Structure 1
């Protein structure tokens, strides 16, 4: 179940897979997919099942089908590392996905821009739309609301006794919203909300405001 929020008079739907749909732009925003990470681990001997390689593409298909966006904007770290066998899977996914795709470059995006150009995918350092600044790393800029990734935010919840639960989340402050990592096997970083912050945790198939 999605969570609908309004930021600067624009409507956004937070999806439990970790993406956000910008209704007025018909744009799906996704961060930190880290495609190729499983293949990268397997190359260096990690015992990760081969079928795990396909999991991200299944999740991408699901979120795209839920919104049918005109455009998909990846907020950096689309691929985890250098070119590997998973690039062919990505080529196939792009070919069957009708939406336009744009990539905001992240620190892990080291694959040659020429490869993306062949697929019709522009690579940008940032993108400004209306009063929104789309980046990979969190940034603060006067007059703009920042959508970003990189951090892989999570929230730690304490229950009765010594029970602790850590959940991936959308982490919103006054002028910024940090996306959770979309990809599998990405890890998280626990953030502590301050007064005025809003946290939208991903709990199974729901986005829940904490």
Structure 2
């Protein structure tokens, strides 16, 4: 089950996969794929299994197909590091971008290493989308407008009555911005503390649903 979110006169849908669907613009948003992270670790001698980047791209394309999206906007950190830019991955991304019109808002991992020959559009800084904006880093508190962003890989720690804990990725909705969870399979997450949230509203990813937490 997805969650509707009304902002700036538009309705967005928070998807259990960690992406956002904007029906009025036929646009899908995802953040922090970190493609090639496994290959980068393997290049450093770490025994990380292969296939994570291919699975991430397949999940994204599945969402695009399911929603009939006409555009994918990636909110930065499409890539992880230079060591992960293998020929096979670049071929896979080129084929993906020819099937799925893709805009990349360059993140801190992308800015020095993004291969310019790939058939996708890149934007530095903030991408204006009429009533909304897309960026990699969340804007400062009190910034005008409403921005979709990534970068933080947010997660929260949930505690059960028996004292057990479960950490789950989440969306963080501030008055001026929505921070998306990391979409990539090997990204890791930053566990947010109550003081990090500053009154924000948190939507936690379940297996097949998204749930608002009590404030």
TM-score scaled by structure 1?
0.90
3-state SS of 1:41 partner = helix
Q: Which residue of 1 aligns with 2:116?
A: 114
Q: Which residue of 2 aligns with 1:157?
A: 158
Measure, in 2, the Cα distance between the counterparts of 1:16 and 1:44: 33
Please, what is the CA RMSD of the aligned residues?
1.7
Measure, in 2, the Cα distance between the counterparts of 1:53 and 1:178: 22
- Say if 1:3 and 1:94 are closer, same or farther in 2 by CA, change over 3 A: same
Measure, in 1, the Cα distance between the counterparts of 2:165 and 2:136: 29
- Say if 1:160 and 1:112 are closer, same or farther in 2 by CA, change over 3 A: closer
3-state SS of 1:151 partner = coil
Q: Which range moves more in the overlay, 130-139 or 18-27?
A: 130-139
Measure, in 2, the Cα distance between the counterparts of 1:24 and 1:53: 29
Find out whether 1:41 has 2:41 as its counterpart.
yes
Q: Which residue of 2 aligns with 1:137?
A: 137
Q: Which residue of 1 aligns with 2:201?
A: 198
Q: CA deviation digits over 1:52-98, x for unaligned, max 9?
A: 3421122112211221211111100001112323111111212232x
TM superposition shift of 1:112: 4.0
Task: Give the one of 202, 209, 212 matched to 1:209.
Answer: 212
Measure, in 2, the Cα distance between the counterparts of 1:174 and 1:133: 14
Q: Which residue of 1 aligns with 2:93?
A: 90
TM superposition shift of 1:144: 1.0
TM superposition shift of 1:7: 0.9
The aligned length equals 206
TM-score scaled by structure 2?
0.88
Q: Which residue of 2 aligns with 1:128?
A: 128
Q: Which residue of 2 aligns with 1:26?
A: 26
Find out whether 1:7 has 2:7 as its counterpart.
yes
Aligned 8 A contact 1:131 1:145 in 2: yes
Measure, in 1, the Cα distance between the counterparts of 2:98 and 2:43: 26
Q: Which range moves more in the overlay, 195-204 or 159-168?
A: 195-204
Measure, in 1, the Cα distance between the counterparts of 2:120 and 2:148: 23
